[in-house]
Amino acid sequence: MIRPQLTVCLILAIGLCSAAPASAKDGKLTGFDTLGRKGRKVKVKAKLETIGFMGIDPDVKGAALDFFILAKDGVELKRPDFLGTEKTNDDGVATLVWTAPESGQFSMVARLRKGADHAAAPAQIHVAVPPEDRPILIVQLDGTVTTATNLKFFRGTKNEEIKAVDGCKQALELLATRHQLVYLTDLELAFTNKFKDWVRLRGLPHAPILFWELFERSLSHETYMTKMIEKLQRGYPLRIGVGGDTSDTAAFLKSGMVPIRLGEEPDEELGDEVIQVKDWGQVLGHTLKAQEADVLLRRYSAGKEASEALRDLSQLGAPGVAYLTRLRRDRDLNLASAATLIVGRLRGIAAFSRTLDRSNADRSLNSLIAAWRYGQPAVVAQLYEDGVKPGPLQIFLKAELISRTEPEPGKVAFKLRLHGVKGKKARELELIFVESEEGGVWLVGS
């Protein structure tokens, strides 16, 4: 008696044998990920090639490919949704024009029809249709998510042996809850299927992967990045870009994005308009802060709780310049001018902060008085130990030192009298400066 499992296997085997003629040539189907908009036409493409020698795979013309939707937003459909059939052109590419009925992440496949002259595994295609207001976060995968190169893939290194960068999976999963991710890579299109398998193996969030079309684009990485981002910019709100190369950040900055460079060592030639981080945890943190800065600036430029927004914007620190630079070119006059004001203020705060001298208690006190006069809480806070609240800014015309004592080694107590405007009583204030455990830095302690 034939077991049920064996029966299923026999049926599958018969189906596979009938799917292609006995003389079917070995082929390769490659799907091209893309983005679209709800209610608009999207070009869904797949390419058929004959597997050749030495990596030279001839294009196949006139083959019929069937396109299906298998899943939406990670949920498999009860049955594949057939979209249509298209034939491959002279370049071996079949293009299906599809109108996205709604927003979402669509997992598709392109398959050869039964009886085709070639036999090939179905091509996986990811079509992202984000809502109009969902910001795009671009990740240049090379050097940030994987250290694999074209050469590694060409040599046939197993996907299991190619590791992902620590922390990238968890960070990208969180970022995907607020952004539409788009992956870019320098890997040539020939590695599409293998690289997509690697992304799935590592459990990275589903997102379109856009590859380098070697024979259609400049061999310059920077030119490729710039053209790819310019193309995306025409239809989508690009917000943040993460890359490992300086040319990546240059392309991000040019396109009005918040550029984040991920690398073990900082590039000293990059200016304050680029955020430099060492790990994915920092990428996640800066991305969230950049979103907060965007909200604050819009509130300030619209005059809504402007004083509170200005206070919070002024405390963004040096990264705030990178968060807000992109908005200096915004079409909204008030938003652009507000961004220019805050960027200038943050640079001024950074320049003033570099003059602070905390090498001993007396110099640190002088710096604190100067910081009070400067009037920026963010500067004053740099003269206090972590966890010690600076309190309100001190406003005065003249500071008078009443006493100076050293109650114990590494601690100096000052008593000040702050004179205000005429007619108002002077205020007395006691401050205790404490030397850091490492030595050489004195800050106001508890």
CATH class of 26-129: mainly beta
Contact call for residues 289 and 319 (beta carbons, < 8 A): yes
185-239 pLDDT, tens digit each? 887 777 788 889 999 999 999 999 998 765 555 567 778 888 889 889 888 999 9
Handedness of CA 292, 294, 295, 299 (dihedral sign): positive
Give me 340's structure tokens.
């220019």
> Where are the strands (E) in 130-179, listed by range?
136-140
Tokens read off for 435: 């030397």
Is 316 a residue whose pLDDT tops 50?
yes
Exposed, middle or buried by CB within 10 Å (0-12, 13-18, 19+), for 426?
middle
Residue 435, strand partner residues = 442
29 vs 188, residue with greater confidence: 29
At 197, which amino acid appears? D
Domain 136-278, CATH number (from 3.90.1150.10, 3.40.50.1820, 3.40.50.1000, 3.30.360.10): 3.40.50.1000
Distance CA 419, CA 402 (A): 12
In angstroms, the CA 255 to CA 233 distance is 7
Residue 340 predicted with pLDDT over 70: yes
Fill in the amino acid letter for 173.
Answer: E
User: Could you tell me the pTM of the whole model?
Assistant: 0.84
Q: Do domains 26-129 and 136-278 have the same CATH topology?
A: no
Q: For residues 5 and 12, what is the distance between their CA atoms, to the nearest angstrom?
A: 11
Mean pLDDT of 384-397: 88
- Domain ranges, ordered by start, for the chain: 26-129, 136-278, 285-353, 361-444
